[in-house]
A = this chain, B = another copy of it.
Amino acid sequence: MPSTSLVNDLFEEICRIPLIDPHSHIDPHHPVSQHLDDILGYHYYTELAHAAGMSQAPLHASVEPRERVRAILGHMDRYDNSAQYAWFLDIARTFLGFTGERISAGDTDALCDAAERIFRDPGWEAQVFRQSNLEKIFLTNEFDDPLSGFDTNKYVPCLRTDALVFHLKQPEIKQRLERATGVDVGDLPALKKALRKLFEHFTGNGAKACAISLPPDFAPKGPDANAAFWMLAELCREFRLPFDLMIGVNRNVYRGGVHQGRDLFDQRCSLIQYQELFNAFPEVTFCVSVLSSGMNQELVSHAWIFPNVVTCGHWWYSNIPTYIATDLRARLQAVPKTKQIGYYSDAYKLEFVLPKYNMYRRVLSEVLASDFVETGRMTDRQAIDLARQILRDNVQSIFKV
Q: Choose among B262, B267, B326 the residue that contacts A322 (Cβ–Cβ < 8 A).
A: B326
A79 at the interface (CB under 8 A from B): yes
Q: Are A336 and B267 in contact (CB under 8 A)?
A: no
CB-CB under 8 A from A305, the residues of chain B are 47, 51, 253-254, 257, 261-264
User: How close is A240's CB to chain B, nearest CB, in angstroms?
Assistant: 16
Secondary structure class of chain A's binding surface, majority of residues: helix
Q: Which segment of A58-66, A145-153, A291-299, A344-352 sits at the interface?
A: A291-299
Given that A305-B254, A306-B254 are contacting pairs, would A298 and B53 also be in contact in the complex, using a CB cutoff of 8 Å? no
Q: Are B334 and A377 in contact (CB under 8 A)?
A: no
A82 at the interface (CB under 8 A from B): yes
- The quantity of this chain's copies bound in the complex is 3
CB-CB under 8 A from A307, the residues of chain B are 50-53
Q: Choose among B50, B267, B270, B279 the residue that contacts A295 (Cβ–Cβ < 8 A).
A: B267
- Provide the A100-116 mask, 1 if CB < 8 A to any CB of B, else 0: 00000000000000000
CB-CB under 8 A from A52, the residues of chain B are 307, 336, 338-339
A83 at the interface (CB under 8 A from B): yes
Q: Are A293 and B297 in contact (CB under 8 A)?
A: yes
Given that A83-B334, A297-B293 are contacting pairs, would A322 and B329 also be in contact in the complex, using a CB cutoff of 8 Å? yes
User: How close is A313's CB to chain B, nearest CB, in angstroms?
Assistant: 17
Q: Are A275 and B253 in contact (CB under 8 A)?
A: yes
* Closest B residue, CB atoms, query A85: B377
Q: Are A333 and B253 in contact (CB under 8 A)?
A: no
* Closest B residue, CB atoms, query A374: B4
Q: Are B336 and A306 in contact (CB under 8 A)?
A: no
A2 at the interface (CB under 8 A from B): yes
A301 at the interface (CB under 8 A from B): yes
A97 at the interface (CB under 8 A from B): no
A123 at the interface (CB under 8 A from B): no
Q: Which residues of A contact B (CB under 8 A)?
A: 1-2, 4, 47-48, 50-53, 78-84, 86, 250, 253-257, 261-268, 270-272, 275, 278-279, 282, 292-295, 297-298, 300-307, 317-318, 320-323, 326, 329-330, 332-339, 371-372, 374, 377, 386
Extra contacts, 20 of them, besides A255-B279, A301-B317 (Cβ < 8 A), are A51-B304, A53-B307, A79-B336, A79-B337, A81-B372, A82-B336, A84-B334, A257-B305, A264-B305, A265-B301, A267-B294, A268-B268, A292-B297, A293-B294, A297-B317, A297-B323, A321-B371, A322-B329, A322-B371, A323-B330
